[in-house]
Amino acid sequence: MRSKPKNPLYQAGWWCYDRNAPIVEGTHIAAQHAISSAVTAARALAKKPIKVSAVYAICRPPGHHAGKECFGGMCFLNNAAAAAEILSRERGGSKVAIIDIGFHHGNGTQDIFYDRSDVFYSSVHADPNQEFPYYSGYPEETGEGEGEGYNFNVPIAVDLQLPGHGVRTPL
């Protein structure tokens, strides 16, 4: 069982699971603009009658490491999760799919939808045996409860030959 630190300065680690999420001046506004972009795109797509068939939101910070009760990996708010939630609700319970293709597994997005069947989450990412976030993104993580079968991970082994080094090394 974890014990929450008494020192307020150390309590940030209770909610942030890594050191790659520094909060500095402008962090909140950047995260807010990113999630607003995703939400605006989702609302445009969710309007009835449908007037657009596709939308694209460029969001930075990305968001997929932010979960139900934590943040990390330079993700503070989960943009894809917010957009999926809006699409599911405003389209009357429509099924939504999030396909996350990137170097790191979107552990936060998986966390948010792991026990839900209205959002299918799939991630193609570096093998968590080799790369961050290490503790999630394995193929056997398929969801639980109502969400069983609605989570699909495709970890890929990463092995590079660095030019001039003669050494094979994982990224």
> Which residues have a catalytic role annotated?
65
Tokens 């990224």, located at residue: 171
Kindly tell me the burial class for residue 127, based on how many C-beta atoms sit within 10 Å of its own C-beta (0-12, 13-18, 19 or more). Answer: middle
Token couple for 24: 């500095």
